[in-house]
Amino acid sequence: MNTLFNFKTLPLSTKIALLSFVMGTLLLISYLLFKTSFLINLGFWYVIIAIIINSIMFMYLIFKLLFSKNNKEDIVIEMFLLLSNIPVTVLYFTIVASIH
């Protein structure tokens, strides 16, 4: 299958960052459409789990960066991709808090 980019070939940290973003966005859209307390609870637990998973991956990337002799630029880019979800999460939280 020829696609613009192949998800399977992406580094694990990039997959995690993308999936975190997509899942968070879907939860936000669902909340904006249905405004149920269940989605607030689900979103809360999703954020907690995402923080844990992303933190573990970030620590792994720090370890990899410290002990890697090559590909340091790629590792730093992967770290920034993981960190880019933080302002998105703050924005989504602000949106939900202003509505709720």
Q: Is the pLDDT of residue 1 over 80?
A: no
pLDDT at 3: 60
Report whether 69 contacts 54 (CB < 8 A): no
pLDDT at 2: 59
pLDDT at 11: 95
Which amino acid is it at 42? L
d(CA 24, CA 32): 12
pLDDT tens-digit series, residues 52-92: 999 999 999 999 999 999 999 999 999 999 999 999 999 99
- Domain residue extents for the chain: 13-99
pLDDT tens-digit series, residues 36-62: 999 999 999 999 999 999 999 999 999
Predicted model pTM = 0.90
Q: How many residues does the chain have?
A: 100
pLDDT band at 8 (very low <50, low <70, confident <90, very high): confident
d(CA 99, CA 58): 32
